[in-house]
Amino acid sequence: MRYTLLLLPLLVACAKSETPQNETAAAPGPMALTDADFAGTWVGTSMPEGSDSVVARFTEICGNGTCKGVLEGMPDTIVSTYTLSGDSAMGSAGPYDNPVVGTSVLESWTVHLRDGKVVGTGMVRLATNPDSVLLRYHLEGSRMQ
């Protein structure tokens, strides 16, 4: 046993310090979204956060950083601007008059493309007090052919 205790420091000092190789290669991240992927006409629905009750049906025509949209039951076109970052499109609109809430609002949203659909989240805020969130929602839309 005495010899074992004397050899132990020598064995530790001589042991190879190897970093184990990663056995599985990292899966590639999502593909970067391009304007060609996002451009087109989209139709879909918006539902309040935590609910599947439809509060709005929309049609959006998007391309070159701008979406022109109509909400069912609203006569005015709402113009959004968007930017692409990674696998997402982030947009904002307003202020615009929203007859449902009876005042001017701002809107922001983020979407991803999944299986040929846009899915994402957004929020509607008072234009006069952007810290006041009136509605958080999730949305899903499909490209019109």
Position 21 in a domain: no
Q: Which structure tokens are listed for 103?
A: 């005042």
Position 24 in a domain: no
Q: How far apart, in Å, are the Cα atoms of 56 and each of 34, 49, 129?
A: 27, 13, 23
Number of independent structural domains in the chain: 1
Position 107 in a domain: yes
Identify whether the C-beta of residue 139 lies closer than 8 Å to the C-beta of residue 122.
yes
Position 25 in a domain: no
Position 44 in a domain: yes
Position 71 in a domain: yes
| Cβ-based neighbours of 95, under 8 Å, separated by 6 or more | 104, 105, 106, 127
Position 62 in a domain: yes
Q: Which structure tokens are listed for 84?
A: 């692409």
DSSP assignment letter at 113:
E
CATH, residue 43: 2.40.128.30
Give the global pTM.
0.76
Cα–Cα distance measured from residue 80 to residue 89, given in angstroms and rounded to the nearest whole number: 11
Identify whether the C-beta of residue 91 lies closer than 8 Å to the C-beta of residue 82.
yes
Per-residue pLDDT of the chain (145 residues; tens, 9 = 90+): 444 333 334 333 444 445 455 555 555 666 789 999 999 999 999 999 999 999 999 999 999 999 999 999 888 899 999 999 999 999 999 999 987 778 999 999 999 999 889 999 999 999 999 999 999 999 999 999 7
Give residue 12's region: left, alpha or beta (phi > 0; psi -120 to 50). Answer: alpha
Position 4 in a domain: no
CB atoms within 10 A of CB 42: 22
Range of 42's domain? Answer: 35-48+55-143
